[in-house]
Amino acid sequence: MATLNHQTGIVFGHTPLDVSKATLVVTTDHQSKPVQEVGEDESYTLEVTPTGAKLHAANPLGTLRGLQTFLQLVSVTPDGFAAPAVSIQDQSRFQWRGLMIDVSRHFIPLDVLKRNLDGMEAVKLNVFHWHLSDNEGFRVESKKFPKLQGEGSDGLYYTQEEIRDFIAYARDRGIRIVPEFDMPGHSTAWFVGYPELASGPGPYQLERKWGVFDPAMDPTNEKTYKFLNEFIAEMTKLFPDQYFHIGGDEVNGKEWDSNPKIQEFMKSHNIKNNVELQAYFSQHVQELVVKHGKTPIGWDEILVPGVSTNIVIQSWRGADSLAAAAKQGYRGILSNGYYIDLGWSAARHYAVDPMAGAAANLTPEEKARILGGEATMWSEYVNWENIDSRIWPRTAAIAERYWSPQTVTDIPSMYFRMETESSRLEWLGLTQRSYQRPMVERMAGSAPAAQVDALLALAEALEPVKDYNRESTPGEEPTQLKPLNRMVDTVHPESELSRQFSVAVDQFLASSCKDSAKAAALRAQLTDWAAIDAQVQPLAQRSVLAQNALPASSAFSQAAELALTALDRIGQGLPLPDALKRQQTDAVAAFETQAHQSQLTIPTLSAFQKLIEASGTAGACTSAK
């Protein structure tokens, strides 16, 4: 109801003004489970006719999903808000449709997480996986072991009362909360307060950088398991969900190698290597989780020969690894391909399917073990301010992948729906569009309006470098303490403006360059872009935050200028000589390299290149004249 308020601006929930008007009738067969379960029925039927709308579901969970579909149907008309007449029978393809947020590397406040739960509900996601501890911070209050958050969080953690409230908030939206406490590696934050858990001599400090570090829990010390037993007892009481995530990824084993007592233990217990040692640890922790009534879930590494098939595997390695696990009887969810921190396009994520590849050849019984997937928001480069923009709207496309049939794959139509969802998400209070201008204004300081506008235009057009390339930029040593206030933090992971420009270039070329309206629109856009750098240069002289964007700004405006010239040549029927074409093609490639100095990429570069190609002697367009 609140969602409909925000979408329409109309407040419902009061006595209706006119009860004779078309109404939405909601019926359910029975209550949902006391604690939301994996595989609980989320199907619904929705019928909209001129006299009213009927929504039926087995339980309130299905109702929540159906209501979101109804909301997607509602649009403004000349006479009011209306939904088209439809008859829908709908159910989810996967039962585990998740979003993981890492709150360790950068702490994310609860109000930000809550509005992201609102967003998840809107796109029918049903699992919030809370990555609560890692080397850089331990974010949950433990009453039993208060030094966990006391020494391990810089004071940035959630109280148990806040967590209970958050879980209830999620429950109201049909979202399970799966907590993750990563161990035995990724656990430096535990050791700041409790160094006795670790395999090294200590003392330990919070990591400020990221990556794989040496500290790891001591799997050979009975006290480790005594501690974990009490800790898991406390946390399994706090978190009602059936699943309890124990991490398990990326242990380099160095602390184990250099500890003589551990080496001794391995010898006496016939443990041959660190993989076996981790399996030994994992086995013990899984038993503790089961003892406290929960089902363990962990990353790929916890799948070792002989481990109980009760566990669930979350695969960061890939769909084939997941299919292999399913063959062996393990349930799993896919995260490889859904790492939204890597800056991929929505189209690229959308093309990844948990049932693709080796999974396609599984038996139905094996297929049923593939529960779904999770988008993962690792927080190296996000904070309260830009995290919404790194999650949305791309996660709406991933959510559709998890809910809708595998056959729904059309890309242009996905983008159309995604942008519509993006408006809806902003009405809910998400900031994936509005975050940008205040960040640009901060970079701009007191610059004149024309310069601020140019900086904003730059921010709208460029994207961050993809994958892990930001970390490898010289002089860009990543750390938790480094502010996220520069252009790379401000640009959208996927620029909708640039995507539309590239589509328009394709359409223009497909018309054999005869679509003059399209040509005019491309020219106007390129003219704007070519003019950006002249404004950004003086601005950046006065602002340390904008300076870093200069290489990209200069590269982008020059590249746009080249594309503009190409467009002009096409228009005038003046073919570009081969030598010049080669030269410009090289220049375009160099511009991309130059943009990388700003940790940025120019997403329209291949569209620019296409225009240059088309303007060449052999080009489809000019040669036709």
Cα separation, 42 vs 314, whole angstroms: 22
Minimum CB distance to a copy of itself, residue 471 (Å): 18
Which of 304, 347, 484, 620 touches a copy of itself (CB under 8 A)? 484
Supply angle C-alpha 528, 467, 463, rounded to 5.
10
What contacts 479, CB < 8 A, 6 or more positions away?
208, 209
Whether residue 358 contacts residue 366, with contact meaning beta carbons closer than 8 Å, is answered with: no
Minimum CB distance to a copy of itself, residue 479 (Å): 8
Question: Which residue number, 14 or 30, has a Cβ lying nearer to a copy of itself?
Answer: 14
Question: Which residue number, 124 or 486, has a Cβ lying nearer to a copy of itself?
Answer: 486
Minimum CB distance to a copy of itself, residue 216 (Å): 24
Whether residue 357 contacts residue 326, with contact meaning beta carbons closer than 8 Å, is answered with: no
What contacts 113, CB < 8 A, 6 or more positions away?
101, 103, 128, 166
Minimum CB distance to a copy of itself, residue 432 (Å): 11
Question: Which residue number, 26 or 304, has a Cβ lying nearer to a copy of itself?
Answer: 26
Does the protein bind a copy of itself through residue 18 (CB under 8 A)? no
Residues in 50-79 at the binding interface with a copy of itself, rule: CB under 8 A: 75-79
Residue of 230, 250, 276, 476 with catalytic role: 250
Does the protein bind a copy of itself through residue 544 (CB under 8 A)? yes
Which of 220, 480, 498, 584 touches a copy of itself (CB under 8 A)? 480
What contacts 23, CB < 8 A, 6 or more positions away?
16, 52, 53
Question: Which residue number, 375 or 443, has a Cβ lying nearer to a copy of itself?
Answer: 443
Minimum CB distance to a copy of itself, residue 456 (Å): 13
Does the protein bind a copy of itself through residue 409 (CB under 8 A)? no
Residue window 573-602: x/- pattern of binding to a copy of itself, with contact defined by CB under 8 A: ------------------------------
Report how many residues bind a copy of itself under the rule CB under 8 A. Answer: 52
Minimum CB distance to a copy of itself, residue 500 (Å): 9
Residues in 511-530 at the binding interface with a copy of itself, rule: CB under 8 A: none
Does the protein bind a copy of itself through residue 23 (CB under 8 A)? no
Other Cβ atoms within 10 Å of 204 Cβ, number: 23
Does the protein bind a copy of itself through residue 542 (CB under 8 A)? yes
Question: Which residue number, 10 or 275, has a Cβ lying nearer to a copy of itself?
Answer: 10
| CA distances for 162 relative to 110, 145, 239, 330, angstroms | 8, 18, 12, 34
Stretch that binds a copy of itself, among 234-242, 331-339, 438-446, 453-461 (CB under 8 A): 438-446
- The overall longest dimension of the chain from CA atoms, in Å, is 83
Is 250 designated active site? yes
Minimum CB distance to a copy of itself, residue 10 (Å): 4
Residues in 300-319 at the binding interface with a copy of itself, rule: CB under 8 A: none
Contacts 24+ apart (CB under 8 A), 150-158: 150/193, 151/192, 151/193, 152/189, 152/190, 152/192, 152/193, 152/206, 153/107, 153/189, 154/107, 154/206, 156/107, 157/107, 158/110
Single out the residue of 354, 363, 309 nearest to residue 335, CA to CA: 354
Whether residue 296 is preceded by a cis peptide bond, meaning omega within 30 degrees of 0, is: no
Other Cβ atoms within 10 Å of 87 Cβ, number: 10
Does the protein bind a copy of itself through residue 364 (CB under 8 A)? no
Whether residue 603 contacts residue 502, with contact meaning beta carbons closer than 8 Å, is answered with: yes
3-state secondary structure 221-268: CHHHHHHHHHHHHHHHHHCCCCEEECCCCCCCCHHHHCCHHHHHHHHH
Stretch that binds a copy of itself, among 12-20, 254-262, 453-461, 526-534 (CB under 8 A): 12-20
Residue window 151-170: x/- pattern of binding to a copy of itself, with contact defined by CB under 8 A: ---xxx--------------
Place of tokens 């649009």: 75
User: Two tokens at 508?
Assistant: 């223009």
Whether residue 184 contacts residue 219, with contact meaning beta carbons closer than 8 Å, is answered with: yes
Binding positions for a copy of itself, rule: CB under 8 A: 6-11, 13-15, 17, 75-81, 106, 111, 154-156, 208, 383, 385, 420, 423, 426-427, 431, 433-434, 437-439, 441-443, 445-446, 480-481, 483-485, 489, 541-545, 547
Residues taking part in catalysis: 250
